[in-house]
Structure formats: structure tokens, C-alpha cells
């Protein structure tokens, strides 16, 4: 075989993968701060997360554009093509995850300075945040290692988040008649829902891992046909 060629292109592609997956670190940090803001009703920290989302969006635009340029100039095929297609999906997921953090941070001021918080519900939401950050880092590692088993395991990890979300819902139903507490619980349900969606995005990234490795796209779990 002739010596290796297209080293610059390969280096560019590797750098773009690192940059796209690095977006997951940004999201994980944003979610960490978001949980801190929820725990302490820290409106200023929440504002910081919202402002900082520009960095995640910037990462999305920058890497997206560079991938389009690679498509146009390098005509990637086979694994390279699948990788680029998957990275475009991952970027979209990263961008959506960042937006979900923003959604949570936007509702924090609505609960007021000294909200009638339910400790158990806060605990559940923080647990959801922690578990979702685990999912985010696991999705990143599965992508980096092209590890389909690890990617599939995200479904199991995501079930934990889904169950916590259901518990939150149950608590909200039983929060009592006080209008302030009910309003607070509704707002927290929005936050829980946003975290749950971040977990789903991490599972989507896992599906892209399987696509890169096998060339076949299959949803790990079909939400519209759960029994299938």
C-alpha cells in the first residue's frame, strides 16, 4: 500500500470531532451551574448560564460550518462520511441541551426569592441533574471510544432520569392546596422536564455512536412503539 495520504484532512476531522464533543463538556458545566442555581435560588448564576449559552451556540455554528466545508472540499465517504453526519447530529443535540439549561434558568426567577420549596422535590431534581451529567459524560466517552455497548447502556441510565421525573410529577400532584406552593411545583416540573429532555439528547448521541460504528441507524428505544 502507498504511504498514508490526506493527513491534513484527517487531522482536521479529528480536531472537529474533539471540538464537537467538547461541546458536551460545556453543556455538562452549564447543567452543573443550573443545578446549583436551582438549589440555592441563585438568580445571578442563572443569568450567567443564560449568557454563557452563547458559547455553546458559537461552538455549534463554528464546528457546523467547518464540517460543511469539509463536505464541500474533501468529499468524505465511508466512515468519514458517517462520522461527519453523526457529528452534525451531535452538534444539534449539544445546542438543544444548552437551550434546555437556559429554559431551566429562565424559570428560576419566577419562583421568587424565598420560594415555598419542597425539599424532597428539590432533592429529586438535583438527583436528576447529577444523573444526567453522568449520561452526558458517558455519551461523550462512548463516542470517543466508538463503544456501542456503552452507548446502549445510556438507555438504562436514562431510565433512572425518567423515573425521577415521574416521582417529581407525583410529588407535584400531592403538593397541597397552597397556590404559591402549587405554582412553585409547576415551575419545578418544567425544570424536571427540561432535564429529562437533556437525558434523551444524550441517548440520541448514543444512537449516533452506533451509526458511526455499524452504518445502521436504529433508535435504541422507539418512543412511539414502546413494545417494539
- Give the shortest CB-77-to-another protein separation in angstroms: 4
209 near 143, Cβ under 8 Å? yes
Query: C-alpha grid cell for residue 217?
Result: 441507524
Q: Applying CB under 8 A, which residues contact another protein?
A: 1-6, 9-10, 74-82, 215
Q: Which is nearer to another protein, 78 or 223 (CB)?
A: 78
Q: Which is nearer to another protein, 87 or 188 (CB)?
A: 87
- Give the shortest CB-209-to-another protein separation in angstroms: 15
- Give the shortest CB-94-to-another protein separation in angstroms: 24
Nearest residue to 41 (alpha-carbon basis) of 151, 191, 155:
191
- Give the shortest CB-218-to-another protein separation in angstroms: 14
- Give the shortest CB-86-to-another protein separation in angstroms: 12
Going 206 to 68 to 10 to 24, the CA torsion angle's sign is: negative
Nearest residue to 154 (alpha-carbon basis) of 135, 141, 140:
135
Q: Which is nearer to another protein, 107 or 148 (CB)?
A: 148
Query: C-alpha grid cell for residue 136?
Result: 452526558
Q: Which is nearer to another protein, 9 or 169 (CB)?
A: 9
Nearest residue to 103 (alpha-carbon basis) of 49, 54, 156:
49
d(CA 177, CA 166): 20
Q: Which is nearer to another protein, 12 or 183 (CB)?
A: 12
Amino acid at each position: 500500500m502507498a504511504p498514508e495520504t490526506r493527513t491534513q484532512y484527517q487531522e482536521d476531522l479529528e480536531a472537529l470531532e474533539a471540538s464537537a464533543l467538547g461541546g458536551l463538556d460545556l453543556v455538562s458545566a452549564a447543567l452543573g451551574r443550573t443545578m446549583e442555581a436551582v438549589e440555592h435560588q441563585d438568580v445571578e448564576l442563572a443569568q450567567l448560564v443564560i449568557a454563557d449559552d452563547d458559547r455553546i451556540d458559537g461552538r455549534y455554528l463554528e464546528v457546523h460550518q467547518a464540517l460543511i466545508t469539509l463536505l464541500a472540499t474533501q468529499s468524505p465517504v465511508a466512515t468519514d462520511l458517517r462520522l461527519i453526519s453523526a457529528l452534525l447530529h451531535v452538534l444539534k443535540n449539544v445546542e438543544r441541551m444548552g437551550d434546555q439549561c437556559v429554559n431551566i434558568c429562565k424559570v428560576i426567577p419566577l419562583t421568587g426569592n424565598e420560594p415555598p420549596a419542597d425539599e424532597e422535590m428539590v432533592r429529586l431534581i438535583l438527583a436528576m441533574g447529577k444523573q444526567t451529567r453522568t449520561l452526558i459524560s458517558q455519551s461523550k466517552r462512548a463516542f470517543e471510544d466508538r463503544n456501542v455497548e456503552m452507548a446502549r447502556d445510556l438507555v438504562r441510565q436514562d431510565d433512572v432520569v425518567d423515573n425521577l421525573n415521574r416521582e417529581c410529577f407525583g410529588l407535584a400532584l400531592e403538593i397541597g392546596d397552597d397556590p404559591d406552593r402549587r405554582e412553585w411545583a409547576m415551575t419545578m416540573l418544567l425544570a424536571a422536564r427540561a432535564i429529562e429532555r437533556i437525558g434523551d439528547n444524550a441517548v440520541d448521541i448514543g444512537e449516533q455512536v452506533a451509526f458511526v460504528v455499524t452504518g445502521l441507524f436504529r433508535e435504541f428505544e422507539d418512543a412511539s412503539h414502546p413494545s417494539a
